[in-house]
Amino acid sequence: MRIMTFAEEDVPAELRARADALREQAWPGGGPHDPALRPVTMLLVSPDGEVPAALDILTKEIVHGGRPYRAAGLSAVVTDAARQGRGYGRRLVAAARETIRESGADLGLFTCDRPLRGFYESAGWDELEGAVLIGGTPREPFPSDGPGFDKVTMAGFFTARAKRDAGAFRGSRVELYPGEIDRLW
Ligand SMILES: CC(C)(COP(=O)(O)OP(=O)(O)OC[C@H]1O[C@@H](n2cnc3c(N)ncnc32)[C@H](O)[C@@H]1OP(=O)(O)O)[C@@H](O)C(=O)NCCC(=O)NCCS
């Protein structure tokens, strides 16, 4: 198994079809990401070209506490239903953390359903206690503590300035505003 990383528009057709089939399993009818979020696709690829797991990384500039940061988040993390529980998801999610760190992004930031907190922690991510991500747009905000949600916010602080300011993110409402397509990325 190897991990392959592409800008979303550069994923070779055969791998793209396999990754799309995985996403379709988990999120039927889902569409492509917003190109403005510079989507990067990471795939776990078997020696015979199968794709047991996939995820996407989305990136945007945010402002928090009056300071600008480059934030990246995980989106559409999925392992083939027939091959779950073999460590594939963890391996890809841990690799994505390294990819984001090496990209120069200040921080990684995303939400997940509460039962998956341990899965992401096992791949190196930390819970950002009490933090709420505000998705959507300033005009139509889509907060991660909205009705019916039981989300936790996961994060990694990578650059020196992000590490210094990490305390300002804990217990706060982070205005992510990724837009109308990837509303909570
Ligand atoms: C979440 C998902 C990607 C995990 O992939 P996976 O390849 O099965 O995960 P791994 O085999 O690497 O599991 C790592 C650990 O996370 C735990 N875990 C995996 N899925 C879990 C779930 N749905 N709920 C709680 N824990 C889970 C596993 O038990 C394992 O823990 P262990 O090592 O203590 O046994 C996969 O279940 C999936 O595709 N789910 C549907 C889509 C989804 O919900 N994606 C996440 C969106 S935020």
Ligand 1 atom with the smallest distance to the CA of 120 is 16
Under DSSP, is residue 151 helix (H, G, I), strand (E, B) or coil? strand
For the chain, what is the mean pLDDT?
97
C-beta of residue 127 within 8 angstroms of C-beta of residue 117 = yes
User: How does pLDDT run across 77-86, given as a tens digit for each residue?
Assistant: 999 999 999 9
Q: What is the spatial distance between Cα 36 and Cα 99, in angstroms, rounded to a whole number? A: 19
* pLDDT higher than 90, residue 31: no
Burial level of 90, CB count in 10 A (0-12/13-18/19+)?
A: middle
Under DSSP, is residue 158 helix (H, G, I), strand (E, B) or coil? coil
Q: How far is the CA of 140 from the centre of ligand 1 (A)?
A: 31
Domain 2-175 has CATH 3.40.630.30: yes
Ligand 1 atom with the smallest distance to the CA of 22 is 39
User: How does pLDDT run across 57-107, given as a tens digit for each residue?
Assistant: 999 999 999 999 999 999 999 999 999 999 999 999 999 999 999 999 999
Q: How far is the CA of 131 from the centre of ligand 1 (A)?
A: 22
Q: What is the spatial distance between Cα 60 and Cα 90, in angstroms, rounded to a whole number? A: 24
